[in-house]
């Protein structure tokens, strides 16, 4: 006689029932032999098939999101040793599967109640039928429901060739278990939208371009460093071999550097003087239009500095006071359109300037 099938209850060589009855029932399997006979065995119930189907859908969606994200962790998903399978925590999958099953049941119950309310008429009659007119919300799965799914999955997963479980869960290490789709099933049933392929290709091209740019810059700097080092070593050897010539070359190089540096600094300083002078003339003209008798030179200096460098540190103020403002004062004191007077402001004698020229919209300043 044949052995009793897995999860089966047999008597006198016959399969009577299956346990647990909520997950398994007696079914018939055709055996391909000469007589095409049938064989009774324990098969999954519709409830168990629903749990497996929901779990499979969760894994398909999460795997697709993981692939589309370019390997970024989604719901705790990860690759193992660069293999193609994507593994997800068992508890997270069970939790999501339970949530979706109760969501579907709640929608089904809500639709059923809605249909019954449309036929039962009066609210009192609906209440007599046990239909709540306000019960359209979604029931929330509690801990017991989640635990039931977590206890059920390890029993029925061996009947699904599409789902792989690693470290079969037990009460001691259930949180360490992971689930994944079989490689063949993943290739054939996990959808990857075209926009994901485009996104992944763009990411690949960006990474490739970035790596190429970094490599080119690194090689250029490396070659420049090698060339600079070789030049320094050649100069050092030449200086050691002939110190007077080496010293002369060093002096010439430093002199050329100093000339170019000084010219650049003077050019920048002239630009700053021109800008400060323009602001000073504009402020002096504005005060003249407002009817002010004079503009204290010290106050004008501070106003021009704050306009050019608002909130600047003391170092910038010292540079302005020594290198910029004295040149502005020198040029404006030589301007015959500006009257220089001494006035007492706050009990202190100060030099003031009064604009005597045209009070038009703009002032023609020296150097423009």
**Bridge partners of 181?**
163
* Closest listed residue to residue 48, CA positions, set 199, 193, 154: 154
Q: Give the model confidence (pLDDT) of 100-121 as tens digits.
A: 888 776 555 555 555 554 545 5
Rounded to whole angstroms, the Cα distance separating 298 from 125 reads: 94
**SS3 state at 356:** coil
CA angle 123, 129, 134 (to 5 degrees): 50
- Residue 149: closest CA among 23, 49, 51: 51
CA–CA dist 169, 150 (Å, integer): 9
Residue 206's contacts (CB-CB under 8 Å, 6 or more residues apart) are none
pLDDT digits (tens, 9 = 90+) for 212-261: 999 999 999 888 888 888 888 887 787 788 778 777 877 888 898 889 88
Q: Which of 44, 142, 153, 141 is nearest to 88 (CA)?
A: 153
Q: Residue 265: its pLDDT value, please?
A: 86
First to last CA, the chain: 114
pLDDT band at 75 (very low <50, low <70, confident <90, very high): low
Taking all residues of the chain, what is their mean pLDDT, rounded to a whole number? Answer: 78
Token representation of residue 88: 């997800």
**DSSP 8-state secondary structure symbol assigned to residue 78:** E
Looking up tokens 């002010």 gives: 292
Of how many residues is the chain composed?
368
Count other Cβ atoms within 10 Å, centred on residue 283: 16
Query: Burial, 152: exposed, middle or buried (Cβ in 10 Å; 0-12, 13-18, 19+)?
Result: buried
Q: What percent of the chain stands above pLDDT 90?
A: 9
Tokens of 364: 């023609």
Euclidean distance between CA atoms 46 and 24, whole angstroms: 9
Tokens for 59, please give them: 């894994």
Task: Indicate the Cα dihedral angle 71, 73, 74, 80, nearest 10°.
Answer: 70
Give the bridge partners for 295, in sequence order: 353
Note whether 334 and 246 are within 8 A (CB): no
Question: Do strands 295-296 and 338-345 pair parallel, antiparallel, or not at all (unpaired)?
Answer: unpaired
Cα 307 to chain centroid, rounded: 39
Quote the strand ranges of 167-247, DSSP E.
178-181
pLDDT average, residue stretch 51-70: 87
Express each pLDDT in 343-353 by its tens digit: 887 788 889 99
Cβ 153 vs Cβ 51: under 8 Å:
yes
pLDDT at 63 over 90: no
Of 140-149, 158-167, 270-279, least confident by mean pLDDT is: 140-149
Residue 33 φ/ψ, nearest 5 degrees = -130, -165
How far apart, in whole angstroms, are the C-alpha atoms of residue 63 and residue 182? 11
Note the pLDDT of residue 137: 36
Integer-rounded Cα radius of gyration of the chain: 44
């Amino acid at each position: 006689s044949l052995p009793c099938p897995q999860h089966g209850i047999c008597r006198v060589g016959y399969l009577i029932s299956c346990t647990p009855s909520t997950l398994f029932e007696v079914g018939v399997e055709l055996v391909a032999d000469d007589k095409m006979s049938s064989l009774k065995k324990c098969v999954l119930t519709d409830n168990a098939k629903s749990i497996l189907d929901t779990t499979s859908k969760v894994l398909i969606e999460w795997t697709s999101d993981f692939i589309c994200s370019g390997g970024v962790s989604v719901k705790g998903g990860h690759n193992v040793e660069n293999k193609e399978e994507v593994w997800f925590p068992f508890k997270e999958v069970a939790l999501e599967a339970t949530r979706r099953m109760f969501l579907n049941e709640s929608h089904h119950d809500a639709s059923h109640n809605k249909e019954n309310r449309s036929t039962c008429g009066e609210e009192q009659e609906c209440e007599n039928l046990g239909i709540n007119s306000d019960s359209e919300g979604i029931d929330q799965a509690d801990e017991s429901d989640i635990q039931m799914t977590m206890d059920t999955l390890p029993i029925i997963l061996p009947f699904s060739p599409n789902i792989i479980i690693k470290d079969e869960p037990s009460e001691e290490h259930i949180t360490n278990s992971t689930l994944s789709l079989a490689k063949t099933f993943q290739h054939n049933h996990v959808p990857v939208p075209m926009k994901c392929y485009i996104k992944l290709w763009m990411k690949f091209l960006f990474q490739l371009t970035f790596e190429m740019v970094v490599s080119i810059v690194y090689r250029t700097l490396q070659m420049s460093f090698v060339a600079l080092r070789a030049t320094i070593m050649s100069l050092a050897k030449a200086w050691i071999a002939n110190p007077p010539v080496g010293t002369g070359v060093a002096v010439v190089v430093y002199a050329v550097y100093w000339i170019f540096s000084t010219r650049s600094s003077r050019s920048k300083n002239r630009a700053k003087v021109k800008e400060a002078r323009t602001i000073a003339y504009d402020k002096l003209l504005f005060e003249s239009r407002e009817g002010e008798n004079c503009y204290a030179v010290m106050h004008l200096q501070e106003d021009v500095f704050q306009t050019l460098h608002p909130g600047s540190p003391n170092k910038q103020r010292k540079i302005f006071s020594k290198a910029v403002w004295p040149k502005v004062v020198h040029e404006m004191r030589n301007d015959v359109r500006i009257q220089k007077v001494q006035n007492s402001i706050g009990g202190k004698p100060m030099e003031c300037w009064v604009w005597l020229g045209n009070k038009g919209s703009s002032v023609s300043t020296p150097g423009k």
